[in-house]
Amino acid sequence: MPNGSLDKYLFDQPELTLNWSQRFKVITGVASGLFYLHEEWEQVVIHRDVKASNVLLDGQLNGRLGDFGLARLYDHGTDPQTTYMVGTLGYLAPEYARTGRATTRSDVFAFGVFLLEVACGKRPIKTQGPEDVILIDWVFSCWNRSNILEARDQSVGNDFVAEEVELVLKLGLLCSHSEPAARPSMRQVVQYLAGDVALPELSLLRLSSSGLTVGHREGFDDYAMSYLSSLEHLQWSFLLICVKFKFNM
C-alpha cells in the first residue's frame, strides 16, 4: 500500500489533503470491505478496530481496511463469544463497552464514526480547553441547526457534491446510533452509498443527542428512557467501584 494510512491525509500532513471525490471513493471501498467480512465470506469476521489509521491507500488511492490483529471470526448464524473489550476510544459502541461482546453492529458503530472522521476531517475526540469535543455530538448539533454541511472538512473547499457529503454525514449519525438494532447493516450501508436505497429521513426517526428512536409514546417512553439512563449510570458506577477495588488490592 504505497500511500500509507488514511489518517495522515486527514490529520498529519495538510498538504496531502484528499479532495471529496477521493474521500468518497475511500468510504465506499471500506464499506464494501466490511460488507464482505460481515456477510459474504465463509465465516463472519468482526474487525473490532475500524478507524482511519487502519485504512490503507493503494497507488490509486483506493481504501483498504487493514490491521486484523484484533479481528474475531465466528460461523454464520451463531453468536460471537467475545467477552472482553479491545479497540480504540472514540470508536467503541456503548453496548460493547458495557458487555465486552463485539458484533457486526459494533463494527457498524465504528464505521459510523469513521464516516464522520473522513467527512469532517476531525478526530472522534478532541481535547479543547477543559472539556473534550465529541465528534458525533458536534455533527448532531450541526444537523439540529438544519446546517449539517457546516460539519464538512473546510479544507476540501467548494469542490464537493453537497448531496454526497450530506448523505455521508447523516449516515454517520445513523450508524453511530446508541441502540444496536437501529443501526443499518453493512449491506444497507453499501446500498445507501450507491444510491440504490434512499436513506431514512432522520427527522422522522427522532434523532437526538442520545440516539434515534422510532415513534414516541408519551409517559411510558419517558419513564423507560429515565429507567434505562439510571440503570446505565448504576452499571458504570459498579464498574468504577470494581476497578478501584482491583487497584487497591
**DSSP per residue over 62-126, as a string?**
-EEE---TT-EEE-TTS-----S--S-TTS--HHHHHH----HHHHHHHHHHHHHHHHHT--SEE
User: What percent of the chain has a predicted confidence (pLDDT) above 90?
Assistant: 50
Residue, of 233 and 197, whose pLDDT is higher: 197
- Our separate counts of H helices and E strands in the chain read 8, 8
The active-site residue, picked from 7, 12, 49, 132, is 49
Answer yes or no: is pLDDT of 219 > 50.
Answer: no
Average pLDDT, the chain: 81
The owner of cell 438494532 is: 181
7-209 has which fold? Transferase(Phosphotransferase); domain 1 (1.10.510)
One-letter amino acid for residue 180 of the chain: P
217 burial (CB, 10 Å; 0-12 / 13-18 / 19+) is: exposed
User: What percent of the chain has a predicted confidence (pLDDT) above 70?
Assistant: 77
For the chain, the domains span 7-209, 216-249
Read off the pLDDT of residues 83-139 as tens digits, 9 standing for 90 and up: 567 888 889 999 988 888 899 999 999 999 999 999 999 999 987 666 678 999 999
- Using CA atoms of 179, 46, 84, 135 in order, give the dihedral in degrees to the nearest 10: -50
**Cut 0.85: pTM above it:** no
The grid coordinates of residue 194 equal 450507491
Task: Return the top range by mean pLDDT from 19-23, 75-79, 129-133.
Answer: 19-23
CB-CB neighbours of 42 under 10 Å: 8
Q: What is the pLDDT of residue 155?
A: 86
Burial 164-184 (b: 16+ CB within 10 A, else e): bbbbbbbbbbbbbbbebeebb
Secondary structure (3-state) at 194:
helix
Q: What distance in Å separates the CA atoms of residue 72 and residue 81, rounded to the nearest whole number?
A: 9
Q: What is the pLDDT of residue 156?
A: 85
131 - beta bridge partners?
128
Q: What distance in Å separates the CA atoms of residue 107 and residue 38, rounded to the nearest whole number?
A: 9
The grid coordinates of residue 25 equal 471513493
Q: What is the pLDDT of residue 209?
A: 53
Q: What is the pLDDT of residue 16?
A: 76
Residue, of 37 and 73, whose pLDDT is higher: 37
Among this protein's residues, is 49 annotated catalytic?
A: yes
Answer yes or no: is pLDDT of 31 > 60.
Answer: yes
Answer yes or no: is pLDDT of 50 > 70.
Answer: yes
